[in-house]
Amino acid sequence: MANILGGYAQGGFVILGEALPHAESGRAKLLGVLGTHRITLASQIPSFTKQGFKVSEHAGLWDFFAPTGTPQRGN
């Protein structure tokens, strides 16, 4: 998360509990959650499956974040 916020990484998979405060404050953008369903803590964020990516269910809260201003995924 520090590398994303510091501009050293363009994105990455981050544990939701660590990254959600940064998304809520506008410092990072949550692009999707892993798995096939939305997560209650971030219900406004679609799953990668709903966005057309092929992913499987997971046992955890791992999500992909990118810097604020990252464009939406193109088709």
CA distances from 43 to 30, 47, 52, 63 (A): 11, 9, 18, 13
Q: How confident is the model at residue 17, as a pLDDT?
A: 83
Task: Copy the structure tokens of residue 71.
Answer: 């464009």
Band of residue 19 on the pLDDT scale cut at 50, 70, 90: confident
Task: Copy the structure tokens of residue 57.
Answer: 């269910």
Domain count for the chain:
1
Task: Give the tens place of pLDDT for each residue, 46-67.
Answer: 888 888 887 766 555 556 667 7
Instruction: Evaluate whether 35 touches 49 at the Cβ level (below 8 Å).
Output: yes
Is 43 domain-assigned? yes
Is 73 domain-assigned? no
Closest CA to 50 of 62, 39, 61: 39
Is 13 domain-assigned? yes
Is 63 domain-assigned? yes
Q: How confident is the model at residue 39, as a pLDDT?
A: 80
Least-confidence region, from 17-26, 36-45, 60-69: 60-69
Is 75 domain-assigned? no
Is 15 domain-assigned? yes
- For 23, the domain range is 2-67
Instruction: Evaluate whether 51 touches 73 at the Cβ level (below 8 Å).
Output: yes
